[in-house]
Structure 1
């Protein structure tokens, strides 16, 4: 079997083979952060003015699984905006951390844009958004407390964990993540809280004890008024008045 190339060399050969006329290319992901595992792939970002629209493709070459994210010199901006609105700056992170594989004078500008977005953080949640999030966390917590069906409890706990990580990060002006990035963003925010969070849910998953999860949820809601059910409404002012009447 052919020897596996070093990540940077494989990335260079990939760019030369598939995108020789591109204006810029970056290698990002776990291999750049020094966190690569046996199953890690190469994340390569391409900037090519001749590409009509962005696309993503997965291939295997040079003995590597490769994920390639292809943009022209303006399409990446739409992804930056979409990621910003979701508070999950995936492309911005990749661009910011990425090692330059090729640059014909375009990479610095894109990196500066990504760094600025990451530095300034996500849009601040309004009072109304926080109130809505409190309600849905309360609703999930009530389901969690009241359930005695193990299969359903597991699914409710998953939902609750996702709602909790989003709430604590967004109310503290932090970016959020999905999958493994949940823990990475939580650690960046507060390592002690992350330990508390993981321990609470791990205890439930292992032995079915809900106490720590319930305590954790109440702790994150308390500064914002605690659990919310009574008096909560969604809809127009007239609809709310009709309910009150």
Structure 2
């Protein structure tokens, strides 16, 4: 029922706010059936004549809406940026998006988004792996040595970000942020995602670091383990 209301609101939104747009898509959690009480509507607008892409947040008919406005070429630079950082935000929205207003160019854009999602961001080269391995090792050592619970909470959060990134990028997989960290891991390996979540949950709820340390060392092992001695940048 909420999905239908969202779709009708989205259609009304483009008729009122972007009547002259060339194409529009409804994306986000509503399209996947994963909406919650606080979910907003992600709407992508395409306009042929546009000086620069932009994003705007607003309320419409009591719905929070995030609107992403693009020309038929501006999305390409965002695709490139998303591939480089390893998080396919725009590709995912466009690929999954429900068409609100169609255009002859829209199908090819959706196909390109889907192809990029399937291909992944590309594996890191050896130099990047060494750099990421070093920083992951450094945060792990901070985590192990930390005696201050308040500080440890935030070190653990940073470690989770770096560890999930290392796991996924070394396997040519897309990464996430916030709730998408777990979702990205689950999409890659559901069992591993469970181990990952439990390890950090054990630390946050019980103060037990062993699961996090064991998992991080296991992930680093195929690449030579923790890295400190011999590492240099710019030498």
Instruction: Give the TM interval when normalised to the shorter protein.
Output: over 0.9
**Structure 1 Cα separation of the partners of residues 79 and 118 of structure 2:** 14
**Structure 2 Cα separation of the partners of residues 11 and 109 of structure 1:** 22
TM-score normalised by L of structure 1? 0.93
1:131 alignment partner in structure 2:
130
| 1:104 Cα offset (Å) | 2.5
**Structure 1 Cα separation of the partners of residues 153 and 65 of structure 2:** 34
1:179 alignment partner in structure 2:
178
Structure 2 matches for 1:140-159, cutoff 5 A?
140-159=139-158
Q: Residues 3 and 31 of structure 2 are in contact (CA less than 8 Å); yes or no, is this contact kept in structure 1?
A: no
Q: Residues 28 and 99 of structure 1 are in contact (CA less than 8 Å); yes or no, is this contact kept in structure 2?
A: yes
| 1:83 Cα offset (Å) | 0.8
| Alignment pair present for 1:107 and 2:103 | no
| 1:5 Cα offset (Å) | 7.1
TM-score normalised by L of structure 2? 0.96
Q: Residues 4 and 63 of structure 1 are in contact (CA less than 8 Å); yes or no, is this contact kept in structure 2?
A: no
Unmatched runs of 5 consecutive residues or more in structure 1:
237-245
1:57 alignment partner in structure 2:
56
Deviates more, 1:3-12 or 1:110-119: 3-12
CA RMSD of aligned residues (A): 1.4
| Alignment pair present for 1:13 and 2:9 | no
Unmatched runs of 5 consecutive residues or more in structure 2:
none
Structure 2 matches for 1:25-174, cutoff 5 A?
25-174=24-173
| Larger Rg belongs to | 1
**Structure 2 Cα separation of the partners of residues 4 and 233 of structure 1:** 52
2:208 alignment partner in structure 1:
209
| 1:154 Cα offset (Å) | 1.0
- State the number of aligned residues: 234
**Structure 2 Cα separation of the partners of residues 160 and 101 of structure 1:** 40
The ranges of structure 1 where at least 4 consecutive aligned residues each deviate by more than 3 angstroms after the TM superposition are: none
